[in-house]
Each structure stands twice: as structure tokens, then as C-alpha cells.
Amino acid sequence: MERLLMLMERLREHGIEIDHLDLGGGLGVPYRDEKPPQPFDYASQLLARLSRWEGGEALTLLFEPGRSIAANAGLMLTRVEFLKPGETKNFAIVDAAMNDLIRPALYQAWQAIVPVDTREVRESALYDVVGPVCETGDFLGKERELAIAEGDLLAVRSAGAYGFVMASNYNSRPRAAELMVDGDSCHVVRARETVASLWAGEALLPEGGR
């Protein structure tokens, strides 16, 4: 904020008046133990500072809080295909992969991973939750304490922002379906891709062509 106000002062000296100020996102997402400011507290601090700046009351403020709204409104469901115990690590191999949710592999982002059905009591263990893609970086979470068995459904939380939009067809994997929950109803808003849809836009060279 201070740097923006300094820039606006310099522009004002050259006869350039700014009538709106875009402050971007600003609000973080509590993926784990983070405690970002509440919207009201965040806005109050900004307005208090602008009120002390000449012309601040006339500015139109713009915010872009998309990720802070969407991230925790969505999750990704994946099923445990295999449990692979090891001497130093245990692996939970699931049917989702880095192509479905790239943030953990790309940014080392931490996303909560929890069993959907917790009614059956099981012993917990530490697992690296990994996908079936042939990449050492294909993981959704590392060293997660989970009480799970093969066939269990897991929820990867906070996947509503930069999830599907960053997904790809890497390793010839069709992208997952997207569903919208509205009260007690569930609706498919984007159909699951198929292998056939992956090559639907491709074409062979004409016979005898070069």
C-alpha cells in the first residue's frame, strides 16, 4: 500500500490523477494452519490508511479475492488403488495424479487429504499419497497420517482454485468430471473426458502423403 501511494504521489506531480486502485488478491487461503486476515479487518486497515492520504476518499478500490473464495469451496475425490509399505516410507497409490492437481508437485503446496468414510476404525500410518503417472514428482501429499485401506475414497481439500484450470492430459490421462453440489443435490457441470476425446481433434496424413 505504501509503495502504491508513493507512486501515486509521483504521478500526481506530473499531472496524472489515479481514480481507482486495484489491490489484487491480498487475502490468503487457510490450506493448513495459516490465519489470513478476515475480509472486514483487511478492508478496515486499508480504508484507515487511505483516509489519511489526500484524495483517498475519492478512490475506487478494487479487490480480486477469487482464490480466497473458491479454494476451500472445492475438493478433489480420489480412490486408493494400492497400499505399498516400505522400509523407510509407505505409499498410498491413488487414481488421481499430478495432471489432475498440479499444485503439490509444482509449488510444493500443502493440501489436506482426509478419508471420506471414517466409520471403520483402522490403525493409522504415515503415507506419501502418490499418483500413477510415471514421474517421481507425482504426489498429492507427503508424510500424511492416514487410517486407510485399498479401495477407500479420499478427499483432497482446498482444490477449488487453480485445480481443474491447471489440469492437463499429461500421460494421455483424461481429465476428471466436475460436479456442483447445491444443497442436497449434485449436478455434473463438466463431463468426464474419455480416451477417445483426447484424439478427437487429431488426423492422419493422407495415404502416400509426406
Among candidate residues 16, 121, 134, 189, the one labeled active-site is 134
Q: 3-17 burial, b for 16+ CB within 10 Å, e for fewer?
A: eebeebeeeeeeeee
CA distance 209 to 135: 36
- Is 83:149 a contact under the CB 8 Å cutoff? yes
Please choose, from the candidates 104, 96, 80, the residue with its C-alpha nearest in 3D space to the C-alpha of residue 173: 96
Pairwise CA distance, residues 34 & 44, whole Å: 20
β 178-182/139-146 pair status: unpaired
Q: Catalytic residue at 186?
A: no
CA distances for 160 relative to 47, 68, 166, 176, angstroms: 29, 10, 11, 14
Q: Catalytic positions, please?
A: 134
